[in-house]
Amino acid sequence: MKLIDGKAIAAEIRAELKLRTQAFEEKYGKKIGLAVVLIGSDPASQVYVRNKVKACEEAGIRSFRHDLPEETTQKQAEELVLALAEDENIHGILVQLPLPKGLDEKRLLSLIPSSKDVDGFLAENIGRLALKEEGTVACTPLGVMEMLSRSGISAAGKRAVVVGRSNIVGRPMALLLLNADATVTICHSKTQDLAAECRRADILVAAIGKPKFITADMIKEGAVVIDVGMDRDENGKLCGDVDFENVKEKASAITPVPGGVGPMTIAMLLKNTCDAAERAMERAERAAE
């Protein structure tokens, strides 16, 4: 069994991105910039934002952090996003979700230009993914594809089963696997005989949000198992959607939690920001010609 070490792969990617950010700065005389907007005081969001800002600094990306209070109005939030959309020093805009109650998430996110949508959540970017066109792809599923390819695992011709169909993980994950020529099945809470569907998988991706939900009897011998879940077990310890200890005995390759998909998500946010910045500068150069 091969343990797919997300932490090590993410570190490798971050080192590569550091070279890209340095080259950008030398070429254009400014840093790549990412705006991070945090509204309210959700403790988990505070931690996520802190980690993202730290990772940016380490990779040579300048972060512009905007902390707004819980009682921020829709108008104030929209004014900030519109100003960031106009700012040429900002190449990516990340609005940390969830927003406090009363704010219209869809409307706020729709003000981010698709070229600065480094989370890949906007309809335009999801549409491009569905059409297999160039765009920005959501960080977590993109991280999974990167882990697979850097581990020498090809999805082409394989039977892939994605459990979960959320807009930020399951759905784009299935599209990426399809674009990589896998034969894809998407499962969800209404799927009948989930275990049988999972047992057909050469590549199984679990993105459910239920601790240790995928058990060894649901796994085909030799399957590749990717665990996106970030859950807490009965003792409050961080774990995934997969019963790792038992499933690892049957899998040919598996990601741990923590240290699997999680670190890849932040690495892909940095990658998406670099891509957005380089594309913005190329567009500006073309426009000046």
Catalytic residues: 52, 96, 119
Give yes or no for residue 223 binding ligand NAP (CB under 6 A): no
The answer to the question of residue 229 lying near ligand NAP (CB under 6 A) is yes
- Report if residue 164 touches ligand NAP, rule: CB under 6 A: yes
- The C-alpha atoms of residue 286 and residue 123 are separated, in whole angstroms, by 26
Q: Which stretch binds ligand NAP (CB under 6 A): 67-75, 110-118, 147-155, 186-194?
A: 186-194
CB 27, min distance to ligand NAP, A: 31
Structure tokens at 51: 């980690």
Question: Comparing C-alpha atoms, which of 99, 24, 4, 69 is closest to residue 284?
Answer: 24
Strands (E), 137-210: 159-163, 183-187, 203-206
- For residue 95, give the nearest of 75, 73, 120, 71 by alpha carbon: 120
**Contact flag: residue 202 with ligand NAP (CB under 6 A):** no
* Contacting ligand NAP within 102-161 (CB under 6 A): 140
User: In which element (H, E) is residue 253 found?
Assistant: strand 253-254
Q: H or E element: which one contains 269?
A: helix 261-288
- Provide the minimum distance between the beta carbon of 30 and ligand NAP in the complex, in angstroms, as a whole number: 29
190 is a site residue for ligand NAP (CB under 6 A)? yes
Tell the smallest beta-carbon distance from residue 164 to ligand NAP (Å). Answer: 4
Cβ-based nearer residue to ligand NAP, 99 or 169: 169
Report the alpha-carbon distance of residue 153 to residue 151 in Å, rounded.
Answer: 6
Q: Which residues bind ligand NAP (CB under 6 A)?
A: 140, 163-166, 168-170, 187-191, 194, 207-210, 228-231, 261-262, 265
